[in-house]
Amino acid sequence: MTALTLRKPRILVPEKVSPDGLALLSTEYEVDSRPKSVSPQELLALIPDVDALIVRSETKVTAEVLRAAGSRLRVVARAGVGVDNIDVEAATAGGIIVVNSPAGNIVAAAEHTVALLLATARNVGRADRTTKEGRWERGKLVGVEVGRKTLGIVGLGKVGMKVARMCIGLGMRVIGFDPYANPDLARQTGVERLVPRLTDMLPEIDFLTIHTPLLASTLDLIGAAEFKLMKPTTRVLNVARGGVYNEAALLDALNNGTIAGAGLDVFTKEPPDPNTPAWELLRHEKVVATPHLGASTVEAQENVAVDVCTQVAAVLRGELPTSAVNAPLILPEEYRALKPYAKLIERMGALYTQHFASATTPVGIGGKYFELVYHGELAGVSSSRPLLAALVRGLVSSFSDTKGRHVNIVNATAVAREKGIVIREIHAHSVGGSGDESSVYASSVTLRALSVPEGTDNQQQDHEKKEGGDSGSQVIEGYVSGNNIYISRLGRFKASFSPEGTLLILYNFDEPGKIGGVGSVLGRYGINISFMQVASLHSKRPQPPVSDGGVRKKGDEALMILGIDGDVTKEVIEDLRTAEGILNVSLIQL
């Protein structure tokens, strides 16, 4: 009898990846390493015979590549943070796990930020260039000390916190802006204070560094108006993403002396095209520029290689990876029953962050206490871990590079703890919350946010019961009907809408003419309304008058919920917000 020889899983590495990582795979797997890269055509030819693919930033893992892989490919690993070169949706549709290494280059990015900070403070770039040109210009290159100066940090994630620690060690004062930061962790790190709005810090800082993903809410985060609030001695830094500073506005601010200098490692297009603002910034005498070197250290490349190779091995063994970008939240045996509720709860979390914790009402989610209540049959599930993970995923989706896809049932609790989020799950076997619609269905969900110190939740709940169920300001209720999900309550308002796509939610006085006025504003900007609902107050108890620009007005309030098609710019939001009788506007992207 001929012995059956088992085939070793095959791993393709079409770029240069640190051998320290590949060494972890060479014993149990067949590793095909091609450090000189492969062409797109070669990749298409090789991929059908591959179980795992490890790439850096050059290889484009397109939908065509993933289709060519067939059913054999199980995991695509990105040796780095960003997955822009991987079609994550196509991978997900094909059941292929995508992993990355979000922590491998934290130290490298933070150190490069500090390097640019010091280089801009002491004119190191100009000094190096002019000295090599034979000029000895000491008098023109007088710099400033960073000790006792104030550093503003936008984005207090892992890199932002590391920068804070390093700069505090240099004797700097650090203040931060991040509506989603854990305030306790920031305080323990030594951050002097967190400001509620970005503009609150700009007039007093000497240096500004941004460490956020590039999202719709962070694109052109710093523009002409923000530069005008800064001191003429302020210097700005960017080792995060090109586009968080408006490059044309930054160029003008440097040319006009509005600020003193900039240290830039990233640009909107790399390398920049000639005769663009980014091209001019590269050559500006007040700018220290580097070609996207934030993660380019020997140690960082080793770290990310070891990390992703370890995760690839875990996936090929049938285990869960630690940093899956698209790992399913629901285990196979729970999939059918819990999938629609996980989707509902994820959307409820995203709706909470974008509506209640938006930039216009910067209460944030850091330090928040949430109650997630399962009503009816849903309260009897044996494991609610996928539902808890779905909530965390939704809460962080609007301010994470992966849109929350890195959250799974394994790491959800750790992610929540890192953000200072406390979630209490309540299994209430009674049918429905307080919403009229949800009480009709066998199961429903309530998400309630409370700002209470540890140990005082009972008092808070007792107070809310006396007030008639809950205080209502930050409550979302929803239910599932067939395969569709619905929101039945948003804050103090009863509703019935599907949380899908792009929504505008307007808080306004319930008076004639409001719908037509909003439609006129959107029409001027070419924005189509796909659906509209007016949500009335959930409680019929008398409400206190609401102030509109200092004028006390009577009458009920309402929410206008619009599904829209088209780009909603800052100008659109501002026009809506300043319309008569409009109290607040939220842009929601789900």
Contact call for residues 352 and 180 (beta carbons, < 8 A): no
CB atoms within 10 A of CB 551: 8
Residue 548, beta-bridge partner list: 551
Q: Catalytic pick from 292, 418, 425, 464?
A: 292
Q: Which two tokens stand for residue 146?
A: 């960073």
Q: What is the dihedral of CA 10, 14, 17, 22, to 10 degrees?
A: 10
d(CA 386, CA 341): 9
How many Cα atoms are found within 13 Å in the side-chain-facing hemisphere of 260? 19
Q: Catalytic pick from 74, 126, 235, 241?
A: 241
In the numeric block, the tokens 């609902």 are attached to 533
Is residue 7 annotated as part of the catalytic site, yes or no?
no
Beta strands 52-55 and 75-78, pairing class: parallel
329 alpha carbon, distance to own chain's centre: 18
Contact call for residues 264 and 289 (beta carbons, < 8 A): yes
DSSP letters for 458-525 = HHHHHHHHHTTS---TTEEEEEEETTEEEEEEETTEEEEE---SEEEEEEEE--TTHHHHHHHHHHHT
Sign of CA dihedral 346, 347, 353, 356: negative
361 alpha carbon, distance to own chain's centre: 17
d(CA 235, CA 261): 5
d(CA 24, CA 46): 22
Please measure the distance between the N-terminal and C-terminal CA atoms of the chain and give it in whole angstroms: 59
User: Which residues, other chains included, contact 133 with Cβ-Cβ below 8 Å and sequence gap of 6+?
Assistant: none
- Strands (DSSP E) found in 17-160: 30-33, 52-55, 75-78, 97-99, 150-154
Is residue 270 annotated as part of the catalytic site, yes or no?
yes
Distances from the Cα of 58 to the Cα of 17, 36, 312, angstroms: 12, 11, 19
Q: Catalytic pick from 28, 145, 270, 333?
A: 270
d(CA 161, CA 211): 9
Q: 106 — phi, psi (to 5°)?
A: -60, -50
The single-letter DSSP state of residue 3 is P
Is residue 375 annotated as part of the catalytic site, yes or no?
no
The single-letter DSSP state of residue 500 is -
Catalytically active residues, by annotation: 241, 270, 292
